[in-house]
């Protein structure tokens, strides 16, 4: 088992001595073995346990994991959610909903504890069961490829280990673990596959495990190739209505040209839409992608929300707009000193302010860096979101305009307008990055001090 474990980390070039790993631990033999093994060879690990509140023994399992970690002096973090209640309200299946909530918890813990990777104890038998489960339900190549060995920061070091190897490891190391009663409940599809279908397949073809692995590898390779091709096609369809301000919302919305998509096969369109969903880590069904591809080909203005409610695909006029349902974070009012530099890690931009010699003055082509008359500003300066009723006299004009009307003229997306910082002095807005400065702070022949403001992607 340890040979398979080390081979995994070698194949994915993960240095156990230098990495910090969060281990998802249920208390069962698989995750207990993984925790015990990595404790020996990785000096920096954290264990996380998620209580689904689905079984009577759930609290006992959490206590067991905590005690196990205390004995080995491993940092331990636990969390819980009423999974059944949440799934009922969101109309999710219990198994799928539990998985979504569990991984949200793990990602949050990994972020808070500074872990590089999240390790789960999925093994070879889990992989085979998953493939058969997907096959029975109906799936595409991604489902038949089984459990990804590595996906972004999620790693599965046991994926080449068998259940038998893990049991032997527990015996050899005198490891205690808890038994999940749900693993014996044949009302669950996966349990039925494990206890009834796989034994029959082994009778029909004793080498079926190797055959399954070979098939999975072929499917995985071809799936990666098709995803690469789809990504290249998607890139050719990208449009940027926010132009040079697109970096403000690249992490929360995407626009694709319908006119280019309609010339593609619907199979390719479905795969492109799936890549968009994957980018935002959203859950979609084949039926949703099928309907979406048909609506794109017929140019039918419509919208579809992903299964988890996370992302919306909206077909409108000549583009497909894919965006996070939650939108983007609003900007907290922040004072801007001179000189100063402010970064928004959430929204992905930086803003700087500095006094420069007047001879540096030049007009900006994209209005992402501007020069204004410092003495005309009524300090202190600050930045904030656009507010209802904001008025603004743009450079070269004599009358004020509602800022909403001004930004509508730039045809920015609603999300972009929401996260666009507005730079203000005591009297109101003086600069809308990427758009305009106020007439009242422009450089003229009487300017003595020149303030240089610059906004860029972080």
For 24-60, what is each residue's pLDDT tens digit?
A: 999 999 999 999 999 988 889 999 999 888 877 788 8
- Domain membership of residue 130 (yes or no) is yes
Last residue of a domain, one of 276, 293, 324: 324
Domain membership flag for residue 228? no
Within this chain, do residues 169 and 111 fall inside the same structural domain, yes or no? yes
Specify the range with the lowest mean pLDDT, choosing from 185-189, 231-235, 304-308. Answer: 185-189
Does 31 lie in the same domain as 163? Answer: yes
Q: Are residues 63 and 103 in the same domain?
A: yes
| Same domain? 133 vs 60 | yes
Range with lowest mean pLDDT among 141-145, 376-380, 446-450: 141-145
CB-CB contact of 266 with 293 (8 Å): yes
Residue ending a domain, choose from 289, 324, 359: 324
pLDDT higher than threshold 80 for residue 92: no
Highest mean pLDDT among 1-15, 105-119, 364-378, 386-400: 105-119
Check whether residue 267 and residue 138 sit in a common domain.
Answer: no
272 shares its domain with 362: no
Q: Is residue 443 one of the residues assigned to a domain? A: yes
Q: Give residue 181's domain range.
A: 2-213
CB 163 within 8 A of CB 125: yes
Residue 53 CB partners (closer than 8 Å, separation 6+): 80, 81, 82, 83, 84
**Mean pLDDT value across the chain:** 89
For residue 88, which phi and psi values (nearest 5 degrees)? -65, -45
Q: Is residue 132 part of a domain?
A: yes
Claim to verify: residue 349 and residue 311 sit in the same structural domain: no
Q: Are residues 71 and 40 in the same domain?
A: yes
In this structure, the answer to whether residues 206 and 242 fall within a common structural domain is no
Residues 277 and 377 in one domain: no
Instruction: Give per-residue pLDDT as tens, 246-296.
Output: 988 988 999 999 999 999 999 999 999 999 999 998 888 888 999 999 999
At residue 114, φ and ψ (nearest 5 deg) are: 70, 35
224 within domain boundaries = no
Prior bond of 380 cis (ω within 30°): yes
Q: Is residue 109 included in any domain, yes or no?
A: yes
Give the pLDDT of residue 329: 67
219 is a domain residue: no
Nearest to 22 by CA among 81, 105, 99: 105
Tens of pLDDT, residue by residue over 189-244, are: 778 888 888 888 888 988 888 888 889 889 989 999 999 999 999 999 999 999 99
State mean pLDDT over 426-444: 93
Taking the mean position of all CA atoms in its chain, how far away is CA 258? 25
Residue 6 has a pLDDT of 83
Q: Establish if 232 belongs to a structural domain.
A: no
At which of 291, 324, 357 does a domain end? 324
Work out how many domains the chain is built from and give that number: 3
186 within 8 A of 196, measured Cβ to Cβ? yes
78 Cβ contact partners less than 8 Å away, ≥ 6 residues apart: 48, 49, 50, 51, 62, 65, 66
pLDDT tens column, 346-381: 777 899 999 988 888 877 777 899 999 999 999 999
- Of the candidates 380, 378, 400, 377, the residue with the CA atom closest to the CA atom of residue 390: 400
CATH number, domain with residue 85: 3.40.50.620
**DSSP 8-state secondary structure symbol assigned to residue 194:** I
Find out whether 177 and 258 touch, Cβ atoms under 8 Å: no
pTM of the complete model: 0.74
Look at residue 409 and tell me whether its pLDDT is greater than 90: no
Residues 77 and 194 in one domain: yes
Do 176 and 315 fall into the same domain?
A: no
CATH number, residue 399: 3.50.40.10
């Amino acid at each position: 088992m340890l040979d398979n474990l080390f081979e995994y980390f070698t194949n994915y070039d993960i240095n156990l001595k230098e990495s910090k790993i969060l281990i998802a631990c249920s208390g069962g033999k698989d995750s207990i073995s993984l925790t015990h093994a990595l404790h020996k060879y990785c000096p920096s690990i954290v264990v996380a346990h998620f209580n689904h509140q689905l079984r009577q023994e759930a609290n006992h399992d959490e206590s067991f994991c905590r005690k196990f970690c205390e004995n080995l002096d491993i940092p331990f973090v636990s969390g819980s959610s009423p999974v059944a209640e949440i799934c009922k309200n969101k109309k999710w299946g219990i198994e799928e909903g539990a998985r979504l909530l569990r991984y949200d918890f793990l990602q949050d813990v990994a972020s808070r504890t500074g872990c590089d990777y999240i390790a789960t104890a999925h093994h070879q038998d889990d992989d085979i069961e998953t493939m058969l489960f997907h096959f029975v339900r109906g799936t595409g190549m991604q489902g038949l490829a089984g459990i990804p060995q590595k996906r972004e920061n999620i790693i599965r070091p046991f994926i080449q280990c068998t259940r038998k190897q893990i049991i032997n490891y527990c015996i050899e190391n005198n490891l205690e673990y808890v038994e999940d009663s749900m693993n014996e409940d044949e009302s669950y599809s996966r349990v039925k596959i494990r206890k009834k279908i796989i034994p029959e397949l082994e009778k029909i073809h004793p080498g079926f495990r190797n055959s399954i692995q070979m098939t999975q590898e072929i499917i995985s390779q071809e799936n990666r190739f098709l995803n690469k091709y789809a990504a290249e096609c998607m890139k050719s369809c990208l449009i940027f209505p926010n132009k040079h301000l697109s970096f403000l919302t690249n992490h929360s919305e995407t626009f694709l040209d319908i006119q280019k998509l309609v010339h593609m096969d619907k199979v390719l369109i479905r795969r492109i839409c799936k890549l968009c969903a994957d980018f935002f880590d959203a859950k979609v069904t084949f039926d949703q992608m099928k309907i979406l591809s048909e609506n794109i080909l017929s140019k039918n203005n419509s919208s579809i929300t992903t299964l988890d409610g996370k992302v919306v695909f909206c077909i409108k006029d000549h583009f497909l707009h894919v965006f996070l349902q939650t939108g983007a974070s609003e900007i907290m009012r922040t004072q801007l000193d001179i000189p100063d530099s402010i970064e928004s890690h959430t929204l992905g931009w930086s803003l700087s302010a500095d006094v420069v010699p007047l001879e540096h003055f030049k007009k900006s082509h994209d209005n992402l860096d501007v020069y204004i008359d410092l003495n005309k500003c009524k300090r202190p300066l600050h930045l904030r979101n656009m507010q209802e009723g904001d008025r603004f006299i743009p450079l070269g004009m004599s009358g004020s305009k509602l800022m909403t009307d001004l930004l509508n003229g730039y045809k920015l997306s609603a999300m972009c307008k929401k996260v666009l910082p507005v730079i203000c002095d005591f009297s109101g807005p003086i600069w809308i990055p990427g758009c305009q400065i106020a007439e009242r702070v422009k450089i003229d022949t009487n300017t003595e001090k020149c303030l240089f403001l610059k906004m860029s992607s972080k």
